[in-house]
Amino acid sequence: MLRIYRPIEGKVLPLLLYFHGGGFVVGDLESHDSTCRRLAKQNECVVVAVDYRLAPEYPFPIPCEDCYEAIVWAVKNASSLGVNPERVAVMGDSAGGNLATVVAMIARDRKGPTIACQVLIYPTTDASKSMPSIESLKDGYLLTKEMIHWFSKNYCGLEDNLRQSYLSPLFATDLINLPPALVITAEFDPLKDEGEEYARKLKESGNHVVFKEYEGMIHVFFQMPKYLPEARMAEAQVASFLQQYLFSKSA
Protein backbone atom coordinates (compact mmCIF):
# COMPACT_ATOMS: atom_id res chain seq x y z
CA MET A 1 0.00 0.00 0.00
CA LEU A 2 1.16 3.53 -0.78
CA ARG A 3 0.18 6.97 0.45
CA ILE A 4 0.83 9.96 -1.80
CA TYR A 5 1.45 13.49 -0.53
CA ARG A 6 1.22 16.33 -3.07
CA PRO A 7 1.84 19.86 -1.76
CA ILE A 8 1.12 21.69 -5.03
CA GLU A 9 -1.36 20.95 -7.81
CA GLY A 10 -0.83 21.64 -11.48
CA LYS A 11 2.96 21.40 -11.45
CA VAL A 12 5.39 18.59 -12.23
CA LEU A 13 7.38 17.97 -9.07
CA PRO A 14 10.34 15.85 -7.92
CA LEU A 15 9.53 12.53 -6.28
CA LEU A 16 10.65 11.31 -2.85
CA LEU A 17 10.02 7.70 -1.83
CA TYR A 18 9.84 7.37 1.96
CA PHE A 19 10.34 4.09 3.84
CA HIS A 20 9.32 4.18 7.50
CA GLY A 21 11.31 2.90 10.44
CA GLY A 22 10.23 0.38 13.05
CA GLY A 23 12.81 -2.38 13.03
CA PHE A 24 11.16 -4.02 9.98
CA VAL A 25 8.51 -5.27 12.43
CA VAL A 26 6.38 -2.27 13.42
CA GLY A 27 5.50 1.11 11.92
CA ASP A 28 3.15 1.96 9.08
CA LEU A 29 1.73 4.84 7.06
CA GLU A 30 0.18 6.37 10.15
CA SER A 31 3.30 6.28 12.32
CA HIS A 32 5.16 8.49 9.84
CA ASP A 33 2.28 10.49 8.40
CA SER A 34 3.33 13.81 9.95
CA THR A 35 6.93 13.30 8.84
CA CYS A 36 5.87 12.70 5.24
CA ARG A 37 3.50 15.67 5.27
CA ARG A 38 6.28 17.95 6.48
CA LEU A 39 8.75 16.62 3.91
CA ALA A 40 6.30 17.21 1.07
CA LYS A 41 5.47 20.73 2.20
CA GLN A 42 8.99 21.82 3.10
CA ASN A 43 10.55 20.50 -0.10
CA GLU A 44 7.73 21.02 -2.61
CA CYS A 45 7.99 17.45 -3.80
CA VAL A 46 5.59 14.55 -4.10
CA VAL A 47 6.24 12.09 -1.28
CA VAL A 48 5.20 8.47 -1.75
CA ALA A 49 5.17 6.64 1.58
CA VAL A 50 5.56 2.88 1.24
CA ASP A 51 3.71 0.51 3.55
CA TYR A 52 5.97 -2.48 2.94
CA ARG A 53 5.14 -5.86 4.43
CA LEU A 54 6.56 -6.50 7.88
CA ALA A 55 8.51 -9.25 9.64
CA PRO A 56 8.28 -11.81 11.09
CA GLU A 57 5.53 -12.84 8.67
CA TYR A 58 7.46 -11.25 5.80
CA PRO A 59 11.19 -11.40 6.61
CA PHE A 60 14.17 -10.39 4.49
CA PRO A 61 14.25 -9.92 1.53
CA ILE A 62 10.50 -9.31 1.11
CA PRO A 63 10.49 -5.71 2.44
CA CYS A 64 13.42 -4.87 0.13
CA GLU A 65 11.52 -6.17 -2.88
CA ASP A 66 8.33 -4.37 -1.82
CA CYS A 67 10.20 -1.07 -1.64
CA TYR A 68 11.96 -1.62 -4.95
CA GLU A 69 8.66 -2.49 -6.64
CA ALA A 70 7.19 0.72 -5.21
CA ILE A 71 9.84 2.89 -6.85
CA VAL A 72 9.50 1.02 -10.15
CA TRP A 73 5.73 1.58 -10.05
CA ALA A 74 6.09 5.25 -9.16
CA VAL A 75 8.51 5.93 -12.02
CA LYS A 76 6.34 4.05 -14.52
CA ASN A 77 3.36 6.11 -13.39
CA ALA A 78 5.21 9.41 -13.24
CA SER A 79 2.81 11.14 -15.60
CA SER A 80 -0.31 10.30 -13.60
CA LEU A 81 1.50 11.18 -10.36
CA GLY A 82 2.63 14.49 -11.76
CA VAL A 83 6.30 13.85 -11.06
CA ASN A 84 9.52 14.03 -13.02
CA PRO A 85 10.88 10.46 -13.40
CA GLU A 86 14.40 11.89 -13.69
CA ARG A 87 14.22 13.53 -10.28
CA VAL A 88 13.69 10.70 -7.82
CA ALA A 89 15.10 10.33 -4.29
CA VAL A 90 14.80 7.68 -1.61
CA MET A 91 14.69 8.33 2.12
CA GLY A 92 14.04 6.44 5.32
CA ASP A 93 14.72 6.36 9.04
CA SER A 94 16.25 3.48 10.99
CA ALA A 95 15.05 0.29 9.26
CA GLY A 96 13.70 2.56 6.55
CA GLY A 97 17.18 4.00 6.11
CA ASN A 98 18.41 0.48 5.48
CA LEU A 99 15.65 -0.06 2.91
CA ALA A 100 16.37 3.26 1.20
CA THR A 101 20.02 2.48 0.58
CA VAL A 102 19.27 -1.14 -0.33
CA VAL A 103 16.76 0.09 -2.91
CA ALA A 104 19.50 2.32 -4.30
CA MET A 105 21.78 -0.72 -4.54
CA ILE A 106 19.10 -2.85 -6.19
CA ALA A 107 18.30 -0.10 -8.68
CA ARG A 108 21.97 0.12 -9.60
CA ASP A 109 22.28 -3.64 -9.95
CA ARG A 110 19.07 -3.99 -12.01
CA LYS A 111 19.84 -0.99 -14.21
CA GLY A 112 17.12 1.32 -12.95
CA PRO A 113 15.25 3.34 -12.04
CA THR A 114 17.81 6.13 -11.74
CA ILE A 115 17.94 7.58 -8.22
CA ALA A 116 19.21 11.13 -7.79
CA CYS A 117 20.10 10.87 -4.10
CA GLN A 118 19.48 9.01 -0.85
CA VAL A 119 18.70 10.35 2.61
CA LEU A 120 19.46 7.97 5.47
CA ILE A 121 18.29 8.97 8.95
CA TYR A 122 20.11 6.94 11.64
CA PRO A 123 20.10 3.89 9.33
CA THR A 124 20.64 0.34 10.48
CA THR A 125 23.31 -1.13 8.22
CA ASP A 126 24.70 -4.10 10.15
CA ALA A 127 22.43 -7.07 10.85
CA SER A 128 25.25 -8.78 12.74
CA LYS A 129 25.28 -5.88 15.24
CA SER A 130 29.04 -5.82 15.58
CA MET A 131 29.68 -2.11 16.10
CA PRO A 132 30.82 -0.76 19.51
CA SER A 133 27.90 1.64 20.13
CA ILE A 134 25.45 -1.28 20.31
CA GLU A 135 27.16 -2.18 23.58
CA SER A 136 28.22 1.24 24.87
CA LEU A 137 24.71 2.69 24.46
CA LYS A 138 22.79 -0.50 25.12
CA ASP A 139 20.42 0.87 27.79
CA GLY A 140 18.80 4.11 28.81
CA TYR A 141 18.45 5.84 25.43
CA LEU A 142 14.99 4.64 24.26
CA LEU A 143 16.29 2.13 21.72
CA THR A 144 18.04 -0.68 23.59
CA LYS A 145 20.40 -3.46 22.63
CA GLU A 146 17.73 -6.01 23.55
CA MET A 147 15.19 -4.36 21.25
CA ILE A 148 17.69 -4.17 18.39
CA HIS A 149 18.48 -7.86 18.58
CA TRP A 150 14.76 -8.74 18.75
CA PHE A 151 14.04 -6.69 15.63
CA SER A 152 17.01 -8.19 13.82
CA LYS A 153 16.06 -11.75 14.73
CA ASN A 154 12.55 -11.25 13.38
CA TYR A 155 13.70 -9.62 10.16
CA CYS A 156 16.59 -11.96 9.36
CA GLY A 157 14.47 -15.07 9.77
CA LEU A 158 16.39 -18.15 8.66
CA GLU A 159 19.23 -16.21 7.00
CA ASP A 160 22.58 -17.49 8.20
CA ASN A 161 24.74 -14.93 6.39
CA LEU A 162 24.00 -11.72 8.26
CA ARG A 163 26.60 -9.76 6.30
CA GLN A 164 25.19 -10.15 2.79
CA SER A 165 24.89 -6.89 0.89
CA TYR A 166 21.13 -6.28 0.85
CA LEU A 167 20.78 -7.26 4.50
CA SER A 168 23.85 -5.48 5.85
CA PRO A 169 24.88 -2.71 3.44
CA LEU A 170 27.83 -1.94 5.71
CA PHE A 171 29.50 -5.14 4.51
CA ALA A 172 28.57 -4.88 0.82
CA THR A 173 31.48 -5.80 -1.40
CA ASP A 174 30.44 -3.25 -4.02
CA LEU A 175 29.40 0.26 -2.98
CA ILE A 176 30.53 2.10 -6.10
CA ASN A 177 28.19 4.14 -8.32
CA LEU A 178 25.56 4.78 -5.68
CA PRO A 179 23.57 8.02 -5.42
CA PRO A 180 24.86 10.93 -3.34
CA ALA A 181 23.98 10.28 0.30
CA LEU A 182 23.06 12.31 3.33
CA VAL A 183 23.61 10.22 6.46
CA ILE A 184 22.34 11.56 9.78
CA THR A 185 23.01 9.92 13.15
CA ALA A 186 22.40 10.78 16.81
CA GLU A 187 25.02 10.96 19.56
CA PHE A 188 23.14 8.68 21.97
CA ASP A 189 21.77 6.18 19.47
CA PRO A 190 23.17 2.63 19.65
CA LEU A 191 22.98 2.54 15.83
CA LYS A 192 25.26 5.55 15.44
CA ASP A 193 28.49 3.66 14.74
CA GLU A 194 27.08 1.58 11.90
CA GLY A 195 25.59 4.71 10.34
CA GLU A 196 28.87 6.60 10.52
CA GLU A 197 30.91 3.66 9.28
CA TYR A 198 28.53 3.16 6.35
CA ALA A 199 28.90 6.83 5.43
CA ARG A 200 32.67 6.41 5.53
CA LYS A 201 32.56 3.33 3.28
CA LEU A 202 30.24 5.03 0.81
CA LYS A 203 32.67 7.93 0.57
CA GLU A 204 35.66 5.58 0.36
CA SER A 205 33.96 3.94 -2.64
CA GLY A 206 33.86 7.22 -4.50
CA ASN A 207 30.33 8.39 -3.72
CA HIS A 208 29.49 11.89 -2.58
CA VAL A 209 28.50 11.76 1.10
CA VAL A 210 27.36 14.32 3.64
CA PHE A 211 27.53 13.01 7.20
CA LYS A 212 26.22 14.66 10.37
CA GLU A 213 25.94 13.40 13.94
CA TYR A 214 23.51 15.45 16.02
CA GLU A 215 24.90 16.03 19.49
CA GLY A 216 22.75 15.16 22.49
CA MET A 217 20.13 13.37 20.40
CA ILE A 218 18.66 9.88 20.65
CA HIS A 219 17.10 7.52 18.14
CA VAL A 220 13.85 8.86 16.60
CA PHE A 221 14.73 12.51 17.32
CA PHE A 222 13.97 13.35 13.67
CA GLN A 223 10.30 12.58 14.35
CA MET A 224 10.12 15.24 17.07
CA PRO A 225 10.41 18.65 15.34
CA LYS A 226 7.67 20.10 17.54
CA TYR A 227 9.87 19.66 20.61
CA LEU A 228 13.48 19.54 19.41
CA PRO A 229 15.31 22.34 17.62
CA GLU A 230 17.83 19.75 16.49
CA ALA A 231 15.06 17.93 14.60
CA ARG A 232 14.19 21.16 12.83
CA MET A 233 17.88 21.66 12.04
CA ALA A 234 17.98 18.15 10.58
CA GLU A 235 14.91 18.90 8.46
CA ALA A 236 16.67 22.00 7.14
CA GLN A 237 19.74 19.94 6.32
CA VAL A 238 17.59 17.42 4.45
CA ALA A 239 15.97 20.28 2.53
CA SER A 240 19.35 21.73 1.57
CA PHE A 241 20.62 18.35 0.42
CA LEU A 242 17.50 17.66 -1.66
CA GLN A 243 17.73 21.12 -3.18
CA GLN A 244 21.23 20.35 -4.36
CA TYR A 245 20.74 16.82 -5.67
CA LEU A 246 17.02 16.39 -6.36
CA PHE A 247 16.16 19.80 -7.75
CA SER A 248 19.31 20.34 -9.78
CA LYS A 249 17.99 18.66 -12.97
CA SER A 250 15.64 20.53 -15.23
CA ALA A 251 11.95 19.59 -14.96
Active site residue 149: no
Active site residue 32: no
Q: Is this structure's pTM higher than 0.95?
A: yes
Q: Which helix (H) or strand (E) is 91 found in, with range? A: strand 83-93
pLDDT of residue 10: 87
pLDDT of residue 136: 98
What residues form DSSP beta bridges with 219?
A: none
Structural domain boundaries of the chain? 2-245
Residue 70: partners with Cβ closer than 8 Å, 6 or more residues away: 2, 17, 48, 50, 52
pLDDT-flagged residues of the chain (< 50): 250-251
- Spot the catalytic one: 66, 126, 189, 193: 189
Looking at the domain 2-245, which fold is it? Rossmann fold (3.40.50)
Active site residue 219: yes
pLDDT tens digits for range 108-144: 999 999 999 999 999 999 999 999 999 999 999 999 9
- Spot the catalytic one: 66, 93, 168, 219: 219
Q: CA 44 to CA 3: how far, in whole Å?
A: 16
pLDDT of residue 90: 98
- Spot the catalytic one: 93, 94, 133, 168: 94
Nearest to 71 by CA among 6, 124, 19: 19
pLDDT of residue 250: 41
Q: How far is CA 14 from the centre of its chain?
A: 17
